[in-house]
Chain A
Amino acid sequence: MTNIKLSKESVLGLIALAIFVGLSLFTPGFLSSGNINSMMFQLPEFGLIALGMMVVIITGGIDLSITYIAAFSGVGAALMMTNGFGIFPAIIVGIIFALACGAFNGVVVSKIGVPPILVTLGTMVLFEGVILAITNGNAISGFPDAYSLIGNGYYLGIVPFSLVIFFVFTIITGLLLNKSTWGRRVYMYGSNDLATLFSGVKNSKVLMKVYLYASLLAAVSAIIMTSRYNSVKVDLGSSYLLQSVAAAVLGGTNIHGGYGKVMGTIYAVLIFQFIRNGLNLMGVHSSLVDVVIGAILIAVLTLNFFSDKLSRQKAKAAS
């Protein structure tokens, strides 16, 4: 066993690869350059939200308000632009809006100690209400042309610029989680918050930064989405909410906290992307696509559960 030990993530990577190969063999048009291109454009916005969700889940929490934070940040940026400000200030304001939301979540979770699922459920409704009050439910649109390059343009003429942004944030997230003190503490907090507290870590500070970071990723995703769709509305990206939880968990992140790898989430996002796109190309009804994705999720989670159990038993037997 030890020589062919594959981590959960690599197995998932192989599954993603297998799905990709399978779909390109059996689905006409899957491998066409146009389709590959459109997949590269579809990936970043969802991937960023999934990464943000993963970081929160590693602490044993969940951020149900993440897509509304994204929409709120998009509204902030959109309002700036439609009122004649430049792209750069608009993006800054968008990020500030999101960070303010994240800070709010962070304070209530870390200082007051309310369970994250309750806090973010509340803030989800709260942010939705605030956006509705600002926009009256209407879409805000009409951004400068240069802005649309962020989501629709190519970097050096080949790679979608949004994909480059996604790539950069993937690396940053990986570095922060694995190499920084904060990252180590995030994992520590996720496995045992009491032990972390008693080893002299300021838990509230760690948590605060987790929610801030998740909202930062949501803001980046929002900028890509608003630029890609040239418009923002209260429910922008709302379909990503539960999908992002699913992607993080499919990627091996432990829903109770303490474990989760960037690569796993990326593979999971890829798997979702391939399957959704492939089934759409085959003309499968969209409600059936949801069924397939749900089934895969449950299958992988059950598999993970049993393999965890097995390895734990082995470890016990060995000791």
Chain B
Amino acid sequence: MRKLWLSLVVVLGLILAAGCVSEESAGSGGDEEADGAEETDNTSEEGNTEEAESDDELEIAVVPKLVGIPYFNASETGAEQAGEDLGVNVEYTGPTEADAAAQVKVIEDLISQDVDAIAVAPNDPASVEPVLKKAKENDIHVMDWDTPADKELVDLSVKQVDDEEFGRHMAEKLVEAMGTEEGEIAILTGGLSAANLNSWIDAAQSELDENYPDIEIVSDKIPTDEKQQVAYQKTLDLLKSYPDLKGVLAVSTPAPLGAAQAVQEKGLQDEVSVVGSALPTDSEPFLEDGSLDTAVLWNPEQLGYLTVALGKMLAEGEMPEDGQEIEGVGEITVEDDGKTVIMAPPQDYTKENASEFDF
């Protein structure tokens, strides 16, 4: 027994020693790390040239937050279409769960594969920072799509819509659906801390304040935990507490469905208008009887297409320009920083067109 404890103490001592070494050599350790990186750089470059000889098609990797949900399946269709049209090899791969750690592994494996460009929709922007740095050290072009990563790090950032425009557009659509410029409305949101949802709501609120001063928002934005069931429950409560409610603006994809469900159940299709961000296939049953008036979103298929198209440009050393026409997508907007690309104006899904889409 005593021997065992002795050996344990020795091992523990070793750990501590190891800890000390690494901390003392934090500076030199960094150098060593850089050396290591250079070494791998060289070898990977060799690998690169070899591969370039055998295969001259560009390889663009697109990493979604996770695979196997309708939204990202739609963008996969678009990305692969773009690969065929533009003659590049598209690798669309991501984790099966929206876990940041799993996503980083996928990107690390893509670095080993020596792709030419990686476009990532980060689950957690901070967690992909180190691995994107590593990709850049290996001469891989790095961009983000769908959700922005660290701005300093990426060469290009593909955004589906302009947040300001999107929010204002939703507000306009709601007023249009209500058919009146006065009355009470409520705002549902996915979560209080979601940055993109908040900027949409802020934009919608300023649109209402500026142009429709007679519209009254009955309460602070109401969180629905990104769940249809919660949105449904909260809308029922709202309808009870505010019998004169004219409209509901529901931001985050499950929220409009829940709100519409409540309106449908109460038979208030003509009294209460619901407008929100949702996918057309999900919202079709509610659009049909008018419980949901308009679903506003972007086209995820186009987003996948544009991501690959821009990835190809990037790999070939070009940068997109403001107002440039991208085949299959349309005119894009490039923001003043020169690397944020905005795909297109928001797209409306209504009773008339919802059945044409399969996402």
Contacts and interface: CB of A to CB of B under 8 A. Distances in A.
Interface string B133-149: 00000100000000000
Interface string B54-71: 000000000000011000
Interface stretch (A13-21, A57-65, A96-104, A281-289): A281-289
Contacts of A45: 101
Interface string B1-41: 10010011001001100100111001001101101100110
Contacts of A229: 100-101, 104, 124, 126-128, 130
A155 B93 contact: no
Contacts, number: 172
Interface in A237-251: 237-240
B189 to A, nearest CB: 13
Given A33-B40, A179-B4, A233-B100, A280 B109 contact: yes
B114 interface: yes
B43 A283 contact: no
Given A150-B22, A240-B101, A283 B91 contact: yes
Interface stretch (A134-142, A253-261, A304-312): A134-142
Interface residues of A, number: 63
A73 interface: no
Interface string B100-141: 111011101111111000000001111111100000001000
A161 interface: yes
A283 B22 contact: no
A216 to B, nearest CB: 12
Interface string A72-111: 0000000000000001000000000000000000000000
B241 interface: no
Interface in A266-319: 276-277, 280-281, 283, 285-287, 290
B138 A34 contact: yes
Contact of B105 (A29, A42, A164, A175): A42
Nearest 5 interchain pairs by C-beta: A141-B126, A231-B126, A157-B32, A229-B127, A35-B112
Interface of B: 1, 4, 7-8, 11, 14-15, 18, 21-23, 26, 29-30, 32-33, 35-36, 39-40, 43-44, 47, 51, 67-68, 91, 93-102, 104-106, 108-114, 123-130, 138, 191-193
